[in-house]
Amino acid sequence: MFPSLRALASALPEAAAAARTASTPRAVRLRRLRKRPAVQPGETDATPEGVTPTEADHYQRQLATGGLLERYGEDISEKEWLDRLNERRSRIRGVREITNHAGEKESVVVGQKVYLPNIVFRLVRNYTPPGQPYNPYEATFRIPQSVTKTDVRSYLWSVYGVKTTYIRTDNYLSPIPAPHRTKQVFKTYKRAVVGLVDPFYYPLNMDTMSGEEKEQRQTWFEENFRLNDRDEKRKHAFLKTSRAPSDGFKWRGPATVKRSNILKRIAEQRAAREEYLAETKEAIQKARVQDVAESAQ
């Protein structure tokens, strides 16, 4: 069965629970400050049972209105209510249990399975305010606007096995350029901030690495992805399409397109031209001297 991802909140490490509290939207934090004291940095606002303030308010509302008695037949405790809620949340979408002719229960897919979804999740670096450490219990993605939070949770778990605790999304709407200005392309996208059970550290930026670390990083990229070979093939294809129709075209390796080699070749041709001009000038001068000597005789 599909694991209860929301139930993992009660078993989260202290750092992950604190990271979840720190990522609460500002409007939610201000609303909670009206009823509860402020949470200190590095602490969590969840109860020992793992119930968040929003879930606690939901439980108290159902308890006061009789919703628990109507649904479960009794007033259950906060922990029991959360367990039953997580059990319902963890059900597999599109699957239900039926009883066959032999009296046995089996799972039946309701609908059609869809494989290889045509969506792209782009992992980007988390926003970290200046002076604050990077939060490894969050991951930020840029996703299509048609993707919902349930889709994000199912996609990450089904494809990559990533356990999530919460998902917060917001939309970025691209600005409309002014008619008199140069048209610039802006993309509209949705950002998803995902809470993680296991920490994940985004790869370091090469601009912030030391010389030795940067060299090791580039060596690793070359060994695993062959970036230089790909660049050479791209240059070869470009030259082949742009100069192939010309007579005498021949690919002479990567040294042909390097800027240093091109400048060296220009300098050599210039030096050869200057040498040829100097030799021609000297030959003309000798011919003039010889003509003057012959005329004097």
For residue 8, the model assigns a pLDDT of 46
> What is the CA angle 228-230-234, rounded to 5?
115
Q: How confident is the prediction for the chain on average, in pLDDT?
A: 79
DSSP string, 197-261: SS---PPPPGGGS-HHHHHHHHHHHHHHH-HHHHHHHHHHHHHHHHHTTSTT-----GGGS-HHH
Mean pLDDT of 30-49: 82
Residue 7 in this model has a pLDDT that exceeds 60:
no
Tell whether the model's pLDDT for residue 178 goes beyond 80: no
Phi, psi of 101, deg, nearest 5: -65, -25
Q: Dig out the tokens for 28 from the structure.
A: 């939610």
φ, ψ for residue 70 (rounded to 5)? -70, -35
Question: pLDDT value at position 4?
Answer: 41
pTM for this entry: 0.49
* Overall average pLDDT of the 126-153 stretch: 88
Of 19, 258, 244, 271, nearest in space to 137 by CA: 19
235 φ, ψ (degrees, to nearest 5): -65, -40
Domain at 122-202: CATH architecture: 2-Layer Sandwich (3.30)
Dihedral sign, CA of 235, 241, 246, 249?
positive
Terminal-to-terminal C-alpha distance of the chain: 117
Q: In this structure, is the dihedral angle defined by the CA atoms of residues 281, 286, 288 and 289, taken in order, positive or negative?
A: positive
Q: Which two tokens stand for residue 227?
A: 């970036």
- Specify the pLDDT at position 2: 38
